[in-house]
Amino acid sequence: QLVFLALNRNNLTGTIPNSFGNLSALEELYLAESNLEGSIPSEMGQLTRLTIFAIAINKFQGVIPATIFNISTITSFSVADNLLTGSLPADIGFTLPNLQSFGIGGNKMGGEIPVSLMNATQLELLDIAGSNYVGQVPANIGGLQNLQWINIGSNHLGSNKTHDLSFIASLANCSQLRLLYFNNNNFGGELPSSIGNLSNQLQRLGLGQNQISGKIPAGLQTLANSLNMLGMEGNLFSGTIPDYLGKFQKLQVLGLYGNRFSGNIPASLENLTELYKLQLSRNQLQGNIPSNLGNCKRLTEVYMQQNELIGFIPQQIFSISSLSNTLNLSRNSLTGSLPLEVGRLISVYALDVSENKLAGEIPQTIGGCLGLEYLMMQGNYFQGMIPSALASLKGIRHLDLSRNNLSGQIPKDLENLRNLQYLNLSFNELEGEVPTKGVFAQAGTVSLLGNRNLCGGIPELQLPTCLPKGMKKRRSLEMKIVTVILGTVFLVITLASFAVLCWCRKRRNDRSSLTSEVDRALRVSYHELYQATSGFSSKFLIGSGSFGSVYKGRLDQHEDRPVAIKVLHLLSAVASNSFMAECNTLRNIRHRNLAKILSCCSSIDFKGNEFKALVYEFMENGSLDTWLHQEVAEVQSSRTLNLVQRLNAAIDAASALCYLHDGCETPVIHRDLKPSNILLNHDMSAQISDFGLARLLPKITSNYSQQGDSSIVVKGSIGYAAPEYGMGGEASIHGDIYSYGILVLEMFTGRRPTDDIFRDGLTLHNYVKMDLPGNVMNIIDPVLIAMEREAQTEAAATEEEEDGDDIQEEGDSNHVLSPSCEACVVSILEIGLACSVDAVPKARMKMKDVLRELHRIRGAVLRGG
């Protein structure tokens, strides 16, 4: 008779035969790690002598037959990592009293942990991780005194309340406990001091990704002689990191990231000589990086990003030759230069010092980091030339040196880096000819925005042609001659203009007083507007704002075409001033991307009240805001914008701002640019509207401007208005550029700058900045991703039909945009960031540069890369 059957770790397929139920003498069954599927036969319940039931890591599905839970002889029950559903029987501890090992994690099972399980007093291993269990952990779990391994992580246990961790006190009875994981649940409250009463044999303690708050209890230090892994990441812990952690000399992994720790990094961590992974990122840590961390000679990974660290990077950090994985010091306030010792990190895989205040030249010694694949140094003050030694990094895949003060030419040898997939050199002061091979051969893999003196490169980059070397000196002499000539011409024109201006002023003084706000020829009567809107009926209301309401109507004088009628709310002088501003602005400007004013009305209504209205062309596709932000029920509709449509709208808005700022005789500042003030025509072309806050630049110091521009009144809408406006700063074109930058970020992330997540110092600008470029998929509008993914799927299906090839296997293409599409979105968002810099308004990207770069990006998108 068959007593022992081991078929595990084979390539078996199919199901478990029902006839296995006839193996009445079978005691041990091993079918793990194969490709078996289907349901577990209920006939298996007939194996009344079974002690080991091991079918883990297969594809079994359905509910575990109740008959199996009645085999009281089972000591090892292992069904983990399948597709099983259902819940555990309430009486499992009574029907399987001899359990020693119980592993059911990695399935789709759920419900509460049966209290009866505490009756299986011989239990040594309990693993229900990665399932859907809810409720509380039984308070008497410590009654299982033989437990050595408890893994209840990655469930939905707990209730985010203070009593959730009360079960820990009972675990003091488990004197042989070596592993305790309850991470990735909903446990709340503070970590009880009873954590220090756990077994002195405990080696691994994982409680990360919960809602545990408060300080780390002092009692934890009693585990110093045994723990080699401590994971407390992703909680709400606060206070300082205890000095006593330096006593945990066996510790190999310390995970404290994603909490609210403050204060300095303890110098005592130098005693953790066995440590290979240190995770302190995303806290509020301050002070300097301790130089004595260089004594941790086994470190392979160090994460300290997104803190408030200051001072120099200690050179001792770069003397840790074991650092072979990652050194991430980004998003702090580190100063000084990058130490020459950086070249000692021969085998480091990723180095990130981005978004700090580092300065000086990038050392040539960085070429010694031969194992480097990811190098991020963006957002600092590095200067000088790009080191030629970077060409020694043969394995480099991702290189970002953007937003620094680098100058000189781009090293031509960078085009020989065959593995380089992304290169960002944007917003520096680089000059000269751009290489054309390697990573430079595709516009979607290289970003060179904001470097005004670059030339050459592939045509898709749309850079000016480089001058021959012999032409440069001759061009310099020609420029000097031209300058002299232009200076003379300018003087003559200035004198002539002055004479003409004096003559014009004399004539203007002779005219009659201008009492109307706009030309009388443009006027329409109140009666006509009343009839066109059926008495300003609510059924014709298409929108409203702080200064007025907008109605749809039809006017005979405009060939019965639909028009938009903006009726001002004349409850304050501000609304009247808005009418003046809009009339005076729009009467003198004409551009295809600016809303066209057709008529206006300044009259008295039927009740004798003052009435003012403006008549515009009706834009049948409404505002950009309604296309970007729809209700959940509407998302499946056709009112969504794809990548090209959003890019076109961004280009149209940029074109309009270029005209307002540089193309008008008197520069015009809009001051209230936002999605609801951008309208879409029948062909989806965009037009900027609502000039109620607009200002003519030379007049901002007039009495009229001062009335509306007091330091108490913010010029624009919250979230879109430039920060300097909130401090009483004067209106300028740089304020419009800031609003445009926020607009661009909103268009491609789908998030308003006023969304609830933007609090405690987090802004839309910082939200995007933190995830560029490597994690851009985390912030792109999900609606946009879905549309582009659908387009890619349709294109692939069409290609498959045409070519007769098999459809590609499912992979990353189902989860991300194409590399070229993703690179284009990164470039667009970088423009949004460059426009929305808040510190120095004049440092914002010029609109003409924005327009040029957006045209280049659109060209790349339309070419498919």
Helix (H, G, I), strand (E, B) or coil at 449: coil
Q: Looking at residue 537, what is its pLDDT?
A: 87
Two tokens, residue 727: 């401090």
Cα–Cα dist 600/615, whole Å: 6
* Order of strands across the sheet that contains 83-85: 13-14, 35-38, 59-63, 83-85
Name 490's Cβ contacts closer than 8 Å, sequence gap at least 6: none
Strand ranges (DSSP E) for 546-702?
548-554, 562-568, 597-604, 610-617, 668-669, 678-680, 686-688, 695-696
Where does the chain hold its CATH 3.80.10.10 domain(s)?
A: 335-467
Residues 730, 733, 738: CA angle, nearest 5 degrees: 95
Q: Looking at residue 717, what is its pLDDT?
A: 80
Given a contact cutoff of 8 angstroms between Cβ atoms, the answer to whether 168 and 190 are in contact is: no
Given a contact cutoff of 8 angstroms between Cβ atoms, the answer to whether 705 and 698 are in contact is: no
**Angle at which helices 764-771 and 733-749 cross, to 10°:** 60
Cα–Cα distances in Å, from 614 out to 317, 564, 582, 753?
Answer: 66, 8, 9, 29
Q: What is the 3-state secondary structure (H, E, C) of 71-125?
A: CCCCCEEECCCCEEECECCCCHHHHCCCCCEEECCCCCCEEECCHHHHHCCCCCE
**How many CA within 13 A on the CB side of residue 409?**
13
Provide the Cα torsion 657, 658, 660, 664; round to 10°. Answer: -170
Given a contact cutoff of 8 angstroms between Cβ atoms, the answer to whether 72 and 95 are in contact is: yes
What is the number of residues in the chain? 865
Tell which residue, 394, 380, 388, 378, has the closest CA to residue 410. 388
Cα–Cα dist 757/700, whole Å: 35
Domain 335-467 is classified in which CATH homologous superfamily? Ribonuclease Inhibitor (3.80.10.10)
Cα–Cα dist 255/281, whole Å: 9
Where does the chain hold its CATH 1.10.510.10 domain(s)?
A: 622-799+813-865
566 is in an annotated binding site: yes
Cα–Cα dist 241/385, whole Å: 40
Backbone angles phi, psi at 825, to 5 degrees: -65, -40
pLDDT digits (tens, 9 = 90+) for 575-618: 555 566 556 556 667 788 888 777 778 788 777 788 888 888 88
Q: Looking at residue 66, what is its pLDDT?
A: 95
Q: What is the 3-state secondary structure (H, E, C) of 502-559?
A: HHHHHHHHHCCCCCCCCCHHHECCHHHHHHHCCCCCHHHEEEECCCEEEEEEECHHHC
Where does the chain hold its CATH 3.30.200.20 domain(s)?
A: 518-618
**Tokens 């998929």 -> residue:** 777
Neighbours of 679 (CB within 10 A): 23
Cα–Cα dist 236/283, whole Å: 10
Domain 518-618 is classified in which CATH homologous superfamily? Phosphorylase Kinase; domain 1 (3.30.200.20)
pLDDT digits (tens, 9 = 90+) for 370-422: 999 999 999 999 999 999 999 999 999 999 999 999 999 999 999 999 999 99
Tell me the whole-structure pTM to 2 decimals: 0.68
Cα–Cα dist 829/854, whole Å: 11
List the catalytic residues. 672
Cα–Cα dist 693/549, whole Å: 16
* DSSP annotation of 155: S
Q: Looking at residue 549, what is its pLDDT?
A: 83
Overall fold of domain 622-799+813-865:
Transferase(Phosphotransferase); domain 1 (1.10.510)
Beta pairing class for 678-680 and 686-688: antiparallel
Provide the Cα torsion 821, 823, 825, 831; round to 10°. Answer: -150
Q: Looking at residue 629, what is its pLDDT?
A: 84
Counting as low any pLDDT under 70, the low residues of the chain are 469-484, 488, 492, 494, 496-523, 545-547, 556-560, 570-588, 631-639, 691-716, 793-817, 864-865
Cα–Cα distances in Å, from 600 out to 21, 254, 691?
Answer: 89, 69, 14
Provide the Cα torsion 157, 162, 167, 169; round to 10°. Answer: 150
* Order of strands across the sheet that contains 213-214: 213-214, 236-240, 260-264, 284-287, 308-311, 333-334
Given a contact cutoff of 8 angstroms between Cβ atoms, the answer to whether 611 and 629 are in contact is: no
Name 653's Cβ contacts closer than 8 Å, sequence gap at least 6: 593, 673, 678, 686, 688, 740, 743
Two tokens, residue 454: 């670059």
Q: Looking at residue 619, what is its pLDDT?
A: 84
